[in-house]
Structure formats: C-alpha cells, structure tokens
C-alpha cells in the first residue's frame, strides 16, 4: 500500500541542526512532487519546502530560506529536509506530502495540492 513515513525529529538547541527523512513505500517518489509542511501548537499548517519532478526545482518559505535544504535520494526512495541554524519558532510537527499530479501543481507550498501525507515527526527547538 501507499505510505509515507517521516523520521529524524527531536529536541535541539537554537542554532543546531536536524535532518528529516520522508521514506516512501508502495510507490516511487521519482514520479511525485514532494513537499514539507509544519504545524506549531495553536497555529495552522504552513508550507516549508517543495521539490518538483520535472527539473528538480526547489521552493522554500521565506522564513526558512537560506537555512533549510530539500533533496532527493532516488536509490533510497527518500526525500530529505536538512534544517540548519534552527530557531525556537521552527518548533512544530513536520509532515511530508506527495502528489502524482505534478503537471497541475501551481503552488508547491499549498497543502491542498497534495494527495498523500505522512503522520508527522516532532521538532522542538529550545534551550
């Protein structure tokens, strides 16, 4: 069956780094546009980053640009989110999502563009 599983979350101090993984089973992420989203307590879901199928173009929210990097490892059927220089406001549950309808995606940071979702991994940035 189709499944996405996030991992790599945890507790880090401000300025620290984490690498999140989004592993797919039942389908190949090579054929999917993939995005990362996060939700802080009491707040709505926010688009963080996205990566396309056709040319590998990446997109980032202004709040994380220059600090986060999204990438693919096709051999492992996994998409990563490398997070550096973490801030307390980065705290939240991080979700990965995927869609096969890549030709029709207009906003890669909009949650309604995606069909498949993982269950999330907690990221806490605190001293």
Q: Rounded to whole angstroms, how far apart are CA atoms 108 and 91?
A: 21
Contact 120, 95 (CB under 8 A): yes
User: Residues 7-45: pLDDT tens digits?
Assistant: 999 999 999 999 999 999 999 998 999 999 999 989 999
Q: Tell me, what's the pLDDT at 103?
A: 81
User: Residues 67-113: pLDDT tens digits?
Assistant: 999 999 999 999 999 999 999 999 999 999 999 988 888 899 999 99
pLDDT greater than 80 at residue 54? no
Q: Tell me, what's the pLDDT at 14?
A: 98
């Amino acid at each position: 069956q189709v499944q996405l599983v996030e991992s790599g979350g945890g507790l880090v101090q401000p300025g620290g780094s984490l690498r999140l993984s989004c592993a797919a089973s039942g389908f190949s992420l090579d054929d999917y546009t993939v995005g990362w989203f996060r939700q802080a307590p009491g707040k709505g879901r926010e688009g963080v980053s996205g990566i396309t199928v056709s040319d590998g173009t990446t997109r980032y929210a202004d709040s994380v640009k220059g600090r986060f990097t999204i990438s693919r490892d096709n051999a492992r059927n996994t998409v990563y989110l490398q997070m550096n220089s973490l801030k307390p406001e980065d705290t939240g549950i991080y979700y990965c999502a995927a869609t096969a309808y890549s030709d029709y995606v207009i906003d890669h940071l909009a949650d309604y563009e995606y069909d498949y979702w993982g269950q999330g991994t907690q990221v806490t940035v605190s001293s």
